[in-house]
Chains A and B, each alone.
Chain A
Amino acid sequence: MAATDPTEGRRPGEVPPRLETRGLSVDFGRKHALDDVSLAVRAGEIIALLGDSGCGKSTLLRAVAGLEQPSGGLVLLDGQAMSARVPPEERGVGLMFQDYALFPHLTVMQNVRFGLHRLRAAEADAVAKARLEQVGLADRASSYPGSLSGGESQRVALARALAPGPRVLLLDEPFSNLDRRNRDRVRADTISVLRATGATALLVTHDPEEALLVSDRIVLMRDGRIVQIGTGADLYQRPVSRFAANFFGDLITFPSRCTNRAAATPLGVFPAPGIASGVRVAACVRPEAILLSDAEAGHPARVIRRRFLGPVAELTLVADGFTEPFRLTVSEETAVEEGDRVGLTLAKGAVLVFPVELD
């Protein structure tokens, strides 16, 4: 445990972030579940922790909660260092569990009141009632969790986690147990409750679309490390690696080698800023950045299959210099048929060049 001064590197009078981790590491045996993670969350911000399963996002959540013991680094809440000795119940952090973890032997009301034991009874009742009303479940106060639907359970869990007024609310895959039809509505409701209460939230998800929908900023993680932190637009338009780019959509990749800070592809030569000559690179294009034009105008290609998908059509194309056919989604009105020759043109800045990673 590094004995660093929590105020280090901050000007006097500056407000510390609501939540900060510095070089946080968690080991499971010999495996590094979390490796040197540094992160700062401002009050009122909603942050999505995004990554595949096993990337360490849940471990980060649990380390902040105090449920996992870090092997190194610091967790700070409002600039106050939470050493491993500060137990979960003394951190003022709320956690909403993936399985909701509602106490089956207590009513909905008693569940929400559970964390309000430091208040007087009347006060606790009032707070719990207000929270239940906020999530629209005041009428189910005396029900037991066993009789609730999935969406209702989710809302009770949210109300219970918010009731004690935590400094940071942690949400572990909060929507993954809901079916598709419910999910969008519950997600919108949850976010509006979070915004209304001004909660600072850290939300774990493996769904990039969900991360884009709910969060102010996204923390993309891989193998226990942070890959990139930024807004959704940052991550989509300026991904730092092919992994980051690939996380938000399909890529058509051309292997190449960097010459004169540029990479040559069948579609042309594209700038590769900051990459030394001779380095093997991957030039990546998102299919949605490819536009169809007349056969004479662009890079020659041929449509080999067309599929009807309602408002859109999916084309499968082969193009000169491409190693594999690729798929393109176009408006259903687009007048091309199987066998047609077309030209491909690229939107400006559509090609991202990355050094080839060891993945």
Chain B
Amino acid sequence: MTAAVELARSQTAIGSEAAPRAAPRLRAAPVAWTAGALALAALILSPVVSLALTAADGTSEVWPHLLAHVLPQAMVTTALLVSGVGLLVVMLGVGSAWLVSAYAFKGRRLLEIGLLLPLAVPTYIVAFAYLDLLHPIGPIQSTLRELLGVARPKDLLLPEIRSLPGCILLLGFVLYPYVYLPTRALFLMQAGTLIEAARILARSPTAVFFHVALPLARPAIALGTSLALMETLNDIGAAEFLGVRTLTVQVYATWINRSDLPGAAQIALVMLAMVLLLLAAERWGRRGRGYAGTAQRQRGMARHRLSGASAMAALCLGLVPIAIGFLIPAAYLVHSAIARVTRLGFPRGVIAEAGNTLLYAGLATLLAAACGFLVAAGPRLVARRFGQGLVRIAALGYALPGAILAIGLLGPLALADASLSRITTALFGVAPAIIGVGAGGALVIAYLVRFLAVGVGACEAGLAKVPGSLGEAGRMLGRGPVGTLMRVHLPMTWPALLSGALLVFVDCVKELPATLLLRPLNVETLATHLYGEALRGTYEDGAVAGLLIVAVGLIPVALLMRLGAAERGPRGG
């Protein structure tokens, strides 16, 4: 849930904390901090460097093949997918945000929070659910045939969900909240008075939407769309299940099926270029105006009251994305899981897998929260600009799709393992049987790199709320920078730190591509279990795992709902 990070960061005003302009003295704590932060920055930058080196290592036989048969097709597919999903999330996200902001009708408040629910469903789970639901002998098509009196599946040919348009549709319906969330917040907090002014100038609601609301919401739309598309590029499960050969799928296939690491790295580099393009497009989309989710309370716009049939129509319209993105897949998961448990009992593996998930996600969460706090506190410990530069770098990992990250981390991790093994051999005469990478260290590190931004963002938002004079007061009362940080800033940042940790945990639980690629041999998490069952076509067995993931995914949505119900809008950490 990287949206939270971005939103939280955009709210972090330029801190008023009077960090010393120059570090007063090179003391032990700043030196230790600097060393740790540099190591962390190196860890985060290493995948990209390693990726470039691996790609350069490519054998000449593979690259022509990739260039001729794999890359062009995958690039076109990915470009089409990204454009389609982009268009759909903007339409759904902005449309639903406008619906609940500009109109008043029965059930509006329910819609307002319900529209966030699809955030709880990872892309691979929504694909998993619809694949089974829309199967020719699945419940929906069977019912349709019964209603129409058609006997055989091949007599009623419906559009195939296993297709690019199907993939666009499903991803659009689970990713639109990334646009809905910041856009609604903007309508609520900033645009309200301006939109009212336009109304008073006697423009029709439609004209107000296109001439005032839409242009005003541009920065929020750009932010939300870029996050949704980042998730699209990151997705591996949905595309694979639906038979869409995207770049991400090709990275995975080239590596795992063809055992061609340099080839996979080369495709990954092309993907990285797309990510950069996306980030540039987002910047451009936000040009001229920062998306400032100010904490300042502003009156939202007066809502246009609907009644009777139009109110009913508005409610139904708003329910469509909730139903497709959450209610139907969730109901499917509940139903399948109950069927599985009542018929065959609780699947044995799931408990162990839940344990694995908890272990790796938990470890990564602890690391990300601790590192997040230390990184966010940097500008208070060392020279401000240096500290802020490291904060920027630490937050870069969120832009790396899981598959790219996994490939990029292989080199550095192998290097680390080799040196570790050399050290232990030199010290104790034996090389450890299982070392970092094999034991799941790789997975934890990948989670840390990818989701550190979430921890940093939450802590930054929390720290920004500590008035500068409190930090100075700590210093004036004889505590050093570290003492002040631990006794003044940390206790006051606890709530933000905890909610950040929670978000990291949920993100780790939902993560599929990196988990798939970096998990230790024979270790399954809930996400990889579901992936395996989906590929085997044994959907019911995967449903329990899917249900557990969605249940965990609901935690941050509940958090958002609580915050979002107030005028504050997006999560502020």
Contacts and interface: CB of A to CB of B under 8 A. Distances in A.
A101 B480 CA distance: 17
B297 interface: no
B20 interface: yes
A101 B491 contact: no
Interface in B190-248: none
B476 A94 contact: yes
Contacts, number: 80
A118 B478 contact: yes
B477 A164 contact: yes
Given A87-B24, A164-B477, A103 B488 contact: yes
B477 A115 contact: yes
A191 B24 CA distance: 33
Interface stretch (A61-69, A192-200, A233-241): A61-69
Contact of B476 (A69, A88, A103): A88
Interface string B461-485: 0000001011011111111110100
B385 interface: no
Contacts of B25: 85, 87
A115 B24 CA distance: 20
Contact of A88 (B22, B469, B472, B491): B472
A99 B467 contact: yes
B478 A101 contact: no
A89 B472 CA distance: 9
Main secondary structure of the interface of A (DSSP, over half): loop
Interface residues of B, number: 24
B24 A117 contact: no
A348 interface: no
Interface string B510-523: 00000000000000
A106 to B, nearest CB: 8
A85 B24 contact: yes
B56 interface: no
Q: Which has the most chain B C-beta neighbours within 10 Å: A85, A88, A95, A103?
A: A88
B477 to A, nearest CB: 3
A65 B20 CA distance: 12
Contacts of A94: 476-477
Q: Which has the most chain B C-beta neighbours within 10 Å: A66, A93, A101?
A: A101
Interface string A100-113: 01111100000000
A95 B476 contact: yes
A161 interface: yes
A117 B492 CA distance: 20
Interface residues of A, number: 30
A96 B469 CA distance: 10
B95 to A, nearest CB: 42
B387 to A, nearest CB: 16
A89 B470 contact: no
A144 interface: no
A93 B476 CA distance: 7
Contacts of B152: none
Given A97-B469, A101-B469, A105-B492, A161 B475 contact: no
B289 interface: no
B479 A117 contact: yes
A94 B483 CA distance: 17
A115 B483 CA distance: 11
A99 B469 contact: yes
Nearest to B475: A88
21 contacts: A67-B472, A69-B21, A84-B24, A87-B20, A87-B480, A88-B472, A88-B476, A89-B478, A89-B479, A89-B483, A90-B478, A94-B477, A97-B469, A99-B467, A101-B472, A103-B470, A105-B492, A114-B487, A117-B478, A161-B476, A161-B477
Interface of B: 18, 20-22, 24-25, 467, 469-470, 472-481, 483, 487-488, 491-492
Given A98-B469, A103-B488, A114-B479, 9 more contacts: A69-B24, A85-B24, A86-B24, A88-B475, A89-B479, A95-B472, A105-B491, A115-B477, A164-B477
Interface of A: 65-69, 84-90, 93-95, 97-99, 101-105, 114-115, 117-118, 160-161, 164
